Amino acid sequence: MGSRLDPQSYFIGIANIRNKFTHKLQECILDIYRYPTFFNISYKTDGIRIIKGENIDSYGNIDLKQQFDHIDSNTHDKFQRTQLFYNDLVFTVRGLIGKVGIYKSTEAANINANVIKIRLKNNVNADFLWYFFNTSIAKKLIENSSSGQVQKTITVKDILNIPIPLPIFEKQNEIAENIQAIRAKAMQLQKKAREVQEKVKMEVEREIEKAEN
């Protein structure tokens, strides 16, 4: 009775993934929490930033330069268990579920009711798990664990039972460093491509100016 009768559970790909990943996310978690009562909050233009699902982009990034809603320190203190620390994961659990961001700041922050805070144990590399949760494999596992027809949702129990790869800590660090190097190189290439595009644009404009003279 307790099992989810979801047709996706029978997909061969999902079955293979579940068999391959023998660890569960619950093995890595120090604390996981959201306040369902975090509604009708009076937001401010400054103060303590609130991280929402829409603050996490499709790649799992939380751009700290974007616009955030804020709360005052008194409200922040009322919701202590969802106060964010550096390297906490932020997981969307309602609506567009399964976006997973990582909080890369020491500045105070909190979350709204549509996301959940995941604080990992010290022997788990947060970047490693964050990278994993932003793979197509993890997205399939999250989708397979969700429920609801009109509005998708995922429970704490479902999240805790998500299968994950969990190599030894040294291997996690190595993989995370390799991925970070790849991402940094990709960002450099994107920057260079933008610079080339800007240079081409300037050349085109100069040629057009010549035509007008």
Give the largest CA-CA distance in the chain: 80
Q: Would you state the structure tokens that stand for residue 84, as one six-digit string?
A: 């964010």
What residues contact residue 138 under an 8 Å CB cut-off, 6+ apart? 100, 132, 162, 164
Q: Cα separation of 119 and 19, whole Å?
A: 26
Residue 101 and residue 61 in contact, taking contact as beta carbons nearer than 8 Å: yes
DSSP conformation letters of 61-104: ---TTS--EEE-HHHHHHSGGG---TT-EEEE-BSSTT-EEE--
CATH superfamily of the 7-165 domain: DNA methylase specificity domains (3.90.220.20)
For 43: left if phi > 0, alpha if psi spans -120 to 50, otherwise beta; the answer is: beta
> What is the model's pLDDT at position 5?
41
What is the Cα gyration radius of the chain?
Answer: 21
From first to last of its 213 residues, the chain has per-residue pLDDT tens of 344 444 444 345 666 777 788 899 999 999 999 999 998 899 999 999 999 999 999 889 999 999 999 999 999 999 999 999 999 999 999 888 999 999 999 999 999 999 999 999 999 999 999 999 998 889 989 988 887 666 778 999 999 999 999 999 999 999 999 988 888 888 888 888 888 888 877 777 675 566 655
